[in-house]
Amino acid sequence: MKKKLMSVMLVAAMAASLTACGGSSKEETTAKAESETQAAAAGEGESAAAGADLGNFEGQELKVSTFSFNAELLQKNVYDPFMEATGCKLIVEGGKNAERVTKIKETPANYDVVIIGDAFVADLIDADLLEKMDYSTLGNMDALYDNAKAPFGAEYGPAYTFNRLGIVYDKSTCPIEITSWADLWNPELEGSIAIPDITTTSGPLFYYATAKMAGLTPGQDDDAIFAKMAELKPNVMKTYTSANDTITMLNQGEISVAVLLDFSYTAAKSASEDYVWVDPSEGNYSGYNTLNIIKGCENKELAMAFIDFYLSKEVQLAEAVDGVDSPVRTDVELTAEQAANFTYGKEMIDNLLLPDWSVINANKAGWTTQWNELFSVQ
């Protein structure tokens, strides 16, 4: 049955658009997928997930908080096959990381599973809102890269994708060739750069990149790091909280350079062949998105089945082929074209730079105050 599921998802993946879909507030989907459509896509006589060994959860519901982008592709690659295989109904709510954390803190009973970036996992752990997990029930764990298995310790959920921070520039408007983080400080880039706000997922990664470039240590040399940021300020047109808005600014010529995570470049490059991705010579800091269970979840067995399905080779491959997420499985093989601009392959993943989230969480309030004072006019 795994081969059958894989063939259906791959056929559907290759037929799908690579563009990111807009966010939604809340979408409720039914438990029965259209088996005739899936059979036609696969050339098979049965639906994609029929018979997959995930357990029978007929009539049960699972409430999932996730990102708002790529909703249609996730529906096709993850939600519909899972619902068909288990008989359950998924209630999916999309939104920005910070907004979703606020909602979970206010009404944790409204959610079972949270799909969220690493910075916000730490916040939920500190608030004691995540259920401790038994990894022995996850059959796909052994296939993951080691640094994806337990990024926040063995009690909390695995990563399902890596993303690395880099630089995107428009070679038709940018006055210089960019190869390093240090190049962002070039005076020729005055008023032409967008950088992530310190409160975003990628903000702390850029903070660490700045520190590394300057030979400084976050949590110890923060005044000196912000002094370096102050030197960059004349070049900064925007400190952003939405990568989508930043891509729009790039498309409209309001900026020529943006500091972005790799998956944002996947969406941006479809607008222009002049956009160039740069892996800075000083190295890439990386983040990861994770799968976790909200504390008090009443259907933990179904939640674990969903997480395990998300980590399956079929899902990881389909999501990668569709340009949605970098795979964290060692056995997912992509062509050079499919892997382009993804955080993919053992060599790249082994060389990723990882920030210390304990340092970030201990200092983020102070960093945010200093950041707002520096970039208050942005």
- What CA–CA distance (Å, rounded) separates 373 from 378? 10
Residues 132 and 31 in one domain: yes
Same domain? 13 vs 130: yes
| Same domain (yes/no): 157, 298 | yes
302: Cβ contacts below 8 Å, ≥ 6 apart: 55, 57, 60, 62, 86, 88, 112
Element (H, E) at 291: strand 286-293
Position 361 scores a pLDDT of 86
- pLDDT one digit per residue (tens) for the chain, 378 residues: 333 343 334 333 333 333 333 333 444 443 333 333 333 333 332 333 433 578 899 999 999 999 988 899 999 999 999 999 999 999 999 998 889 999 999 999 999 999 998 889 988 998 999 999 999 999 999 999 998 999 998 899 999 999 999 999 999 999 999 999 999 999 999 999 999 999 888 999 999 999 999 999 999 999 999 999 999 999 999 999 988 899 999 999 999 999 999 888 877 888 899 999 999 999 999 989 999 999 999 999 999 999 999 999 999 999 999 988 999 999 999 999 899 878 999 999 999 999 998 899 899 999 999 999 999 854
Q: How far is CA 198 from CA 208, 241, 311, 360, in A?
A: 11, 9, 30, 10
Residue whose token pair is 């056995």: 331
- The CA-atom distances, in angstroms, between 256 and each of 60, 214, 270 are 49, 24, 16
Residues 121 and 192 in one domain: no
What pLDDT is stored for residue 58 in this prediction? 96
How many CA within 13 A on the CB side of residue 193?
25
Task: Tell whether the torsion through CA atoms of 72, 73, 76 and 80 is positive or negative.
Answer: negative
Interhelix angle for 357-374 vs 118-126, to 10°? 110
Residue 190 and residue 112 share a domain:
no
Q: What are phi and psi of 175, to 5 degrees?
A: -75, -10
* Domain hosting residue 247, numbered range: 165-286+355-374
The pLDDT value recorded for residue 177 is 98
* pLDDT the model gives residue 21: 34
CA distances from 32 to 37, 52, 83, 88 (A): 12, 15, 7, 9
Same-domain status, 270 and 345: no
CA dist., res. 263 & res. 267, Å (int): 7
139 close to 308: Cβ distance less than 8 angstroms: yes
Do residues 367 and 198 touch, judged by C-beta distance below 8 A?
A: yes
CATH of the domain at 364: 3.40.190.10
The pTM for the full model equals: 0.78
Same domain, 97 and 129: yes
Looking at the fold, whether 332 and 364 belong to one and the same domain comes out as no
What is the predicted pLDDT for the residue at 69?
82
Query: Which residue type is seen at 287?
Result: G
Cβ(2)–Cβ(81) below 8 Å: no
- Together in a domain, 156 and 86: yes
User: What is the pLDDT, as a whole number, of residue 17?
Assistant: 34
**pLDDT tens column, 121-152:** 988 998 999 999 999 999 999 999 998 999 99
* CA distance readout (Å), 270 to 166, 200, 343: 17, 24, 18
- Pair (117, 231) in one structural domain: no
155 and 127, same structural domain? yes
Spatial CA neighbour of 160 closest among 131, 130, 201, 117:
117
Domain count within the chain: 2
**Dist. CA 59–CA 143, nearest whole Å:** 31
Q: Tell me the two tokens of residue 91.
A: 């209630």
**How many CB atoms within 10 Å of residue 20?**
23
Shared domain check, 335 and 247: no
Digit-coded pLDDT (tens) for 287-339 = 899 999 999 999 999 999 999 999 999 999 999 999 889 999 999 999 998 99
For 180-191, letters b (16+ CB in 10 Å) and e give: ebebbbeeebee
Give the CB-side neighbour count of residue 298, counting CA atoms within 13 A: 8
